[in-house]
Amino acid sequence: MQCTKTVRRLFFAALTTIRHRCNALWDTKDPTGVKLQIRVETETMSVLGGLLRVGASLCQSAGTLLNTARTISTGTCCQIRMHAIPQLKKVDRWTEKRSMFGVYDNIGILGEFNAHPKDLIMAPCWLKGFKGNELQRLIRKKRMVGDRMMTLDRHNLEKRIKFLYRRFNRTGKHR
């Protein structure tokens, strides 16, 4: 019984707001009457549909009203309902990459400026302190460790050097 009274009140409120909005829209001086009439209809239907949805959410027995009402959208997007706050991701702060971040920043400050960070980095000898493109890196690797490489690895290295040499000489700014 209480539910039907609530729905009646909502419909009465909807009709009064629709009437006020329609009067406000009809009072505007729009030269094309067709566009004005369409605006009134969409405004009316959006208000009515919104109030039906509110009435259905307040009253469980009014669920059939929600299914019978046509939904007309005026372009506003519906809000996403969040039932709970999403759990935070658990991040391991002590991975090797994160724990070694900024390790070599204070070498000069704490020491006597005699150790360069490139000397302390654990890496292959042809990569320490190297800046350059792939061709230069492979030539440097061949010069430094080429005599100690396995046959297949050295063959693949030389093939890659030949390919890059031809490519860099055909295109690029160093022709």
Hey, CA dihedral for 56, 57, 58, 59, is it positive or negative? positive
Per residue in 125-162, pLDDT (tens digit) is 888 888 899 999 999 999 999 999 999 999 999 999 99
Residue 9, classed as helix, strand or coil, is: helix
CA gap 132, 134 in Å, rounded? 7
Q: What is the pLDDT of residue 54?
A: 58
DSSP code of residue 84: S
Which of 69, 55, 21 is closest to 41 using CA atoms? 21
Amino acid sitting at position 127: L
Whether the pLDDT of residue 124 is over 70: the answer is yes
* Residue 86 in domain: no
Per residue in 64-119, pLDDT (tens digit) is 555 555 666 666 666 677 788 888 999 999 998 888 887 776 766 666 767 776 77
Q: What is the pLDDT of residue 113?
A: 67
* Residue 20 in domain: yes
Contact status, residue 130 vs residue 137, Cβ threshold 8 Å? yes
Whether the pLDDT of residue 38 is over 50: the answer is no
Q: What is the pLDDT of residue 137?
A: 94
- Total domains in the chain come to 2
Q: How many CB atoms lie within 10 A of CB 163?
A: 11
Per residue in 40-57, pLDDT (tens digit) is 444 555 655 665 565 555
* Residue 89 in domain: no
Query: 115 vs 52, 103, 109, 118, 125, CA distance in Å?
Result: 76, 13, 11, 8, 17
* Residue 108 in domain: no
Query: Which residue range forms the structural domain that includes residue 40?
Result: 2-68
* Residue 95 in domain: no
Last residue of a domain, one of 53, 68, 83: 68
- Report pTM: 0.36
Can you say how many angstroms the Cα of residue 70 is from the centroid of all Cα atoms in its chain? 34
* Residue 172 in domain: yes
Whether the pLDDT of residue 39 is over 60: the answer is no
Last residue of a domain, one of 68, 93, 108: 68
CA gap 35, 57 in Å, rounded? 33
* Residue 92 in domain: no
Whether the pLDDT of residue 25 is over 50: the answer is no
Last residue of a domain, one of 46, 68, 90: 68
Contact status, residue 161 vs residue 138, Cβ threshold 8 Å? yes
* Residue 138 in domain: yes
